[in-house]
Amino acid sequence: MTNQPFTEAQKQYLAGFTMGADVARAVRGLPVLAGSGGANSNSATVQIGGSSIAGSKPVPIAQLPEQMAYDAQDGFLSQGKKLSSEEQAKREKNPLDLWNEVVERSERGEFPKGSDVFLTKYHGLFYVAPAQNSFMCRMRIPGGEIRDYQLLGLADLSDGSAGGCIDITTRANLQIREIPARQAANILYGLRDLGIISLGAGGDNIRNVTASPLSGVDPDELIETLPIARRMHHYITQHREMYGLPRKFNIAFDGGGRISALDDTNDIGFHAVRVKHDFATSQVPAGDYFELTLGGITGHCDFARGTGVLLREEETLKVARAIIRVYIQHGDRTDRKRARLKYLLDSWGFDKFLEHVQAEFGEPFRRFEITSAQRHMAEDRLAHVDFHAQKQIGKCYVGIVFPVGRMTSDQARGLAEIARRYGSGRLRLTVWQNLIIPDIDEADCDRVREDVLRLGLDYSATNIRAGLVACTGSAGCKFAASNTKRHALEIAEYLESRFELDAPINIHVTGCHHSCAQHYIGDIGLIGAKVEIGDDLVEGYDVVVGGGWGENRAIGRVVATKLTVAEVLLRLTQILTAYVEQRDFNETFNAFIRRQSDAQVVELGSRALVADRSAGQSLFAR
């Protein structure tokens, strides 16, 4: 037999094996094997009943809460497969146990290196070099509701330890940027003091759980979703098992009201539906339920699909837990591109997947196909901006506009004060990167108007700006091909100067294929691309049109690729001109694009391409 070195897969399998041996030795009060490296050694402290059992008699190994994830890794290794580098990093150091390391590194004024950059994201801290030599901190704001004192505290925290701004994200969440290495620990302490959790806001985790932003005040909603989203959030943050996923994961609750939670873009969507008496059966009595949808990931051109499973409000958490456990056990851990839930669903099919989920859930599912005729059609695409009546008589809410989601710390303080003085101290974030203050007495609306304007903000928006969303872009994200936030504002300004539209047109500007601004579901979607101009590479975009969500769900179709920003402006002008001139009476942009063939879509505005590239580029040269 030749003396061959171990293959990479064999080494990984042995690492897993020695980890198991280390746990067994720790249980027996013995030191871990010298040189084993103790794969996931930080997590292998075995305790029973809260006290260390080192030196005690042999006892059964206590199951680690995250053992399911390690077992899933072992499954791939035993087949001779190689774990992705992120899975290997998680195996070597449990990211949940890095608090001391993160704090000590911050005290030394250092940023993480190598795989620690990825692992530190588990604590909400993203080292965003080379875009910026600083951290970005993402939080978890369950259901998008934040209290006035929390927003005040965040403003102070951003002024003292970060760049003085707070960004609203497309998951109704908040981020603080420009955090020096030495301030990272202060940010973590400050958030905890405010009752805000950042653990699991990045990395391979269940991200901020979203809910309908008008939950509890919406005259049209079927089910109040904020309390459910908060329960889900607390369950996740209290169970280490829920941090053992193969990749990131999104959960949304939509109560069927006026503002969409974009649940069909999530891995798990719970969408409120009403079963009317005419359609009720003995198994499914009339009433309001959540329809379970699975596998949404629009960056990969897929919406969440219906499962035919209807759930009572109180069943949603247990079903989500079951889905996540199946995903932890069977999701891909060798190829990051195929590690999202969609790919497990594609490979197994929905029937097999739901069988596994049902086995975890422990009861037969309530099956009922909801037809479009039974869907609740309450969405209003402008309900997230301006003043609107609530379901509570005499109360209203105001939706404040934030072009591409950025607020200064002074604006944050001002908004917190408005919420405290005129509302209930509660503020709601939306996936449209804006903010709602509910519970205002109708008599106070004029005063709120004045106070909002005094902050340099607005409550009304054009049909272009109301649905304008942009990801961080090259100003703060290393993946971005273009400066999305800056270009989004320039594009909105340019189009507003040429068109007065009578219906909303959403423009989603995203910097790379990660699709944080969900370009495929915008009426107009832009994705960053580098464009060759002579010997130079300049910032530009691929353009898609005709995307939508909910009842109008559609993946945007490609109009053109690799356009400079100036060419994008010309192309969009041509497309909107075609829409305004050729649409049928009251036809929406989405419907107008839907009736165009692919060839016609490409043809839309192609005359714009006669523009001289270098001349056009200078239109917005900075």
Q: Does 472 bind ligand SF4 (CB under 6 A)?
A: yes
DSSP 38-63: -TTGGG---EETTEE-TTS---PPPP
Q: Which of 151, 251, 516, 578 binds ligand SF4 (CB under 6 A)?
A: 516
- For residues 572-591, which are near ligand SF4 according to CB under 6 A? none
Q: Does 521 bind ligand SF4 (CB under 6 A)?
A: no
Q: Does 309 bind ligand SF4 (CB under 6 A)?
A: no
Least Cβ distance, residue 516 to ligand SF4 (angstroms): 3
Q: Which of residues 173 and 515 has its CB atom nearest to ligand SF4 in the complex?
A: 515
Least Cβ distance, residue 539 to ligand SF4 (angstroms): 12
596/559 Cα distance (integer angstroms): 12
Residue 303 φ then ψ, to 5°: -95, 160
Half-sphere exposure of 387 (CA within 13 A, CB side): 16
Least Cβ distance, residue 310 to ligand SF4 (angstroms): 34
Q: Which of residues 202 and 548 has its CB atom nearest to ligand SF4 in the complex?
A: 202
Least Cβ distance, residue 52 to ligand SF4 (angstroms): 42
Pinpoint the alpha helices (H) of 331-390.
341-348, 350-361
Q: Which of 210, 510, 590, 617 binds ligand SF4 (CB under 6 A)?
A: 510
Q: Does 511 bind ligand SF4 (CB under 6 A)?
A: yes
Least Cβ distance, residue 171 to ligand SF4 (angstroms): 11
Single-letter residue type at 54 = A
Residues with Cβ < 8 Å from 586, sequence gap 6 or more? none
282/107 Cα distance (integer angstroms): 63
Q: Which of 64, 199, 471, 543 binds ligand SF4 (CB under 6 A)?
A: 471
Report the run of H or E that residue 193 belongs to, with start and end.
helix 184-193
564/475 Cα distance (integer angstroms): 18
Q: Does 457 bind ligand SF4 (CB under 6 A)?
A: no
Q: Which of residues 265 and 510 has its CB atom nearest to ligand SF4 in the complex?
A: 510
Least Cβ distance, residue 512 to ligand SF4 (angstroms): 3
Q: Does 265 bind ligand SF4 (CB under 6 A)?
A: no
Q: Candidates 304-312, 315-323, 330-338, 512-520 — which segment interacts with ligand SF4 by CB under 6 A?
A: 512-520
Nearest to 252 by CA among 25, 26, 518: 518
Q: Candidates 364-372, 508-516, 563-571, 614-622 — which segment interacts with ligand SF4 by CB under 6 A?
A: 508-516
Q: What residue ranges in 96-197 does DSSP mark as E strands?
A: 125-127, 135-138, 145-147, 165-168, 174-179
Q: Does 477 bind ligand SF4 (CB under 6 A)?
A: yes
Nearest to 456 by CA among 510, 517, 400: 400
Single-letter residue type at 120 = T
Q: Candidates 50-58, 190-198, 405-413, 471-479 — which segment interacts with ligand SF4 by CB under 6 A?
A: 471-479
Least Cβ distance, residue 487 to ligand SF4 (angstroms): 12
172/615 Cα distance (integer angstroms): 39
Least Cβ distance, residue 175 to ligand SF4 (angstroms): 10
Q: Candidates 20-28, 39-47, 441-449, 473-481 — which segment interacts with ligand SF4 by CB under 6 A?
A: 473-481
140/451 Cα distance (integer angstroms): 28
Q: Which of 222, 322, 461, 480 binds ligand SF4 (CB under 6 A)?
A: 480
Q: Which of 336, 366, 514, 594 binds ligand SF4 (CB under 6 A)?
A: 514
Least Cβ distance, residue 136 to ligand SF4 (angstroms): 10
493/284 Cα distance (integer angstroms): 51
Q: Which of residues 312 and 530 has its CB atom nearest to ligand SF4 in the complex?
A: 530
159/412 Cα distance (integer angstroms): 11
Half-sphere exposure of 456 (CA within 13 A, CB side): 9
Single-letter residue type at 88 = Q
Q: Candidates 30-38, 352-360, 470-478, 587-595 — which segment interacts with ligand SF4 by CB under 6 A?
A: 470-478
Size of the site for ligand SF4 (CB under 6 A): 12
Least Cβ distance, residue 543 to ligand SF4 (angstroms): 16
Closest residue to ligand SF4: CB criterion: 511
Least Cβ distance, residue 511 to ligand SF4 (angstroms): 3
Q: Burial-class residue 269 by CB neighbours within 10 Å (0-12, 13-18, 19+).
A: buried
28/53 Cα distance (integer angstroms): 8
Least Cβ distance, residue 484 to ligand SF4 (angstroms): 6
477/22 Cα distance (integer angstroms): 40
Q: Does 191 bind ligand SF4 (CB under 6 A)?
A: no
Q: Does 479 bind ligand SF4 (CB under 6 A)?
A: yes
274/359 Cα distance (integer angstroms): 27
Q: Candidates 41-49, 98-106, 398-406, 469-477 — which segment interacts with ligand SF4 by CB under 6 A?
A: 469-477
Q: Candidates 94-102, 153-161, 316-324, 509-517 — which segment interacts with ligand SF4 by CB under 6 A?
A: 509-517
Nearest to 260 by CA among 310, 311, 303, 200: 303
Q: Candidates 93-101, 274-282, 323-331, 474-482 — which segment interacts with ligand SF4 by CB under 6 A?
A: 474-482
DSSP 394-440: TEEEEEEB-GGGEEEHHHHHHHHHHHHHHS-SEEEE-TTS-EEEEEE
Least Cβ distance, residue 245 to ligand SF4 (angstroms): 18
Least Cβ distance, residue 518 to ligand SF4 (angstroms): 9
298/283 Cα distance (integer angstroms): 34
Q: Does 565 bind ligand SF4 (CB under 6 A)?
A: no
Q: Which of 205, 515, 564, 590 binds ligand SF4 (CB under 6 A)?
A: 515
65/19 Cα distance (integer angstroms): 16
545/559 Cα distance (integer angstroms): 7
Residues with Cβ < 8 Å from 121, sequence gap 6 or more? 201, 202, 203
Q: Which of residues 142 and 476 has its CB atom nearest to ligand SF4 in the complex?
A: 476
Q: Which of residues 431 and 480 has its CB atom nearest to ligand SF4 in the complex?
A: 480
Q: Does 512 bind ligand SF4 (CB under 6 A)?
A: yes
Q: For binding to ligand SF4 (CB under 6 A), which residues are involved?
A: 471-473, 477, 479-480, 510-512, 514-516
